[in-house]
A and B are shown apart, each in its own frame.
Chain A
Amino acid sequence: MSGRAADLAPPALFGAGVLLVWESVVRLFGVPAIILPSPWAILLRLVGSVPKPLVADFLQTMQGALAGYALGCGAGFVVAILIDRSDYLQRGLLPLGNLVSALPIVGVAPIMVMWFGFDWQSKAAVVVIMTFFPMLVNTVAGLSAAGAIERDLMKTYGASYGQTLVNLRLPAALPFVFNALKMNTTLAMIGAIVAEFFGTPTVGMGFRISTEVGHMGIDMVWATIVVAALTGSLFYGIVALIERRATFWHASYRARQG
């Protein structure tokens, strides 16, 4: 445990230092709050708005983000398994999947708002599109990760395609799948928040940010960003924790114990 604490100390000190400098600069130079509020003011604002409106905003945005995340990741995974047996489809879909990852997909937000209305469904739709392709590409890559020797062994056991898939290739693909799951947590948050810039019912973290910016309520904007940042890290952290439990056998975790 002492090694862990020693690892955490420098970044914690650095973070505290940044906050201290920020606070003193704002106080010493009297920086107006509409340009940069002090961390203390942001914290007060954050605590002051916890029941209302931040909790409602949080729930609204997370509803879209989580529903989209589950659907998008699920669909990507299922499609990857469906096209697993067709080399032809894989060779067609993979370059497209890689291309899509370079495109500004958040731009479909206004279209989804038109199709699915202002509420969380349209945000979930944006998140589905954003998370689908990373999952597809990573799962396909993961399914080919099992080594030739292991596959041959399965063949000598007379294992069927399904047995090989379930007992060998899917477990071997897990690190890739979790990689996509982790990347997608960030994409889901980005998609849900940015989609709210294009119209929502009057609630949601993206909505709060864009309207408070208009009212010059910069401390509220920062408070919302703090919530978004904490949520994003927590979301990522939970997936990373599940990954550690599920793929404890993988070299990247084994090495640390030794």
Chain B
Amino acid sequence: MSRLLPIATIVAALLALWYVAALFMNAPLQRDVFANAGRTDYSFGDLALADLNMERPKLPAPHQIVAELDRLVLQTAPTSRRGLVYHALITLQETLLGFVIGSALGAGLAILIVSVRALERSIMPWIVASQTIPIIALAPMIVVILNQFDITGIIPKAVIAAYLSFFPVTVGLVKGLRSPDPLQLDLMRTYSASSAQTFRKLRAPASAPFFFASMKIAVAAALVGAVVAEVTKSEDGGLGARLLAGSYYGQTVQIWAALLAAAALSATLVGLIGLIEAFAARRMGMAG
């Protein structure tokens, strides 16, 4: 409870700020609208009300976005191309497929790196360096290259989502698998545990916190990858395609609705992993 009130205060303050910003940012546009319609006798109240209910505002007011979300999510059939659920599901599929492939490969590579010393010294610096480069710049090219091989639809986006989620998992898991301290490793040695046993009973459980932390980063990165990939090939639909379409036609309310949907999707996925983490921590007796 002690955290709920401060968060609610901040959210309320942000919403108030948003309304004020919408008033000021939309006012010049709305004055032009009134001027074009030949209206000069409008009061401040008229202007303010019109500001917050424009069709293509510079900054849509929160209630307009909520109304748009209501129209696109609740009032439209989930299977309709015009609804947001249809596009969100496409993005979700790409994200999940990419996340599963990317984190499986990332985890596999991390286990390899931890078990083969030569690999760590030759590959690991590259993987760490890859964290500093804007890998996402590759997205448009991957879509086009896969297109050459007649691979279209959700697969190219999933591939991009996969390589964006791959690196954080490898880096986090290598750190996690190396996290047991020498004392614990020595203890395993005095038990004459095989390296497989050490892995299963010490390294793997010790890596759990690192594993889940990197999973959260990876799933958020996978979603970003999917959305950006959709922007580069927008005819297949998805939330990124909605963003691009909205920016072509100046439909600001639509952009904000798509953005909020993407944000909600991301927060839900990260939250789900958090739940699994809490469950796993309780099963492992680490709930604190």
Contacts and interface: CB of A to CB of B under 8 A. Distances in A.
Interface residues of A, number: 57
Interface string B140-166: 110111001000000000000000000
B244 A190 contact: no
Contacts of B255: 110-111
Contacts of A232: 132-134
Contact of B140 (A95, A185, A197): A197
A115 interface: yes
A213 B132 contact: no
A235 B134 CA distance: 11
Interface string A202-219: 000110011001001010
Nearest to A90: B6
A206 B138 CA distance: 10
A101 B216 CA distance: 11
Interface stretch (A66-74, A152-160, A173-181, A221-229): A221-229
Interface residues of B, number: 56
Contacts, number: 149
B286 interface: no
A201 interface: no
A236 interface: yes
Interface of A: 7, 10-11, 13-15, 34-36, 88-93, 95-96, 99, 101-104, 106-108, 110-111, 113-115, 185-186, 189-190, 193-194, 197-199, 205-206, 209-210, 213, 216, 218, 221-222, 224-225, 228-229, 232-233, 235-237
Given A114-B250, A229-B134, A233-B129, 20 more contacts: A34-B148, A95-B3, A96-B11, A101-B220, A103-B220, A104-B220, A104-B227, A104-B262, A106-B227, A106-B228, A107-B227, A107-B239, A107-B259, A186-B132, A186-B134, A194-B137, A194-B228, A209-B141, A218-B145, A236-B132
10 contacts: A11-B122, A103-B266, A104-B227, A106-B224, A110-B247, A186-B134, A190-B137, A197-B231, A199-B247, A225-B141
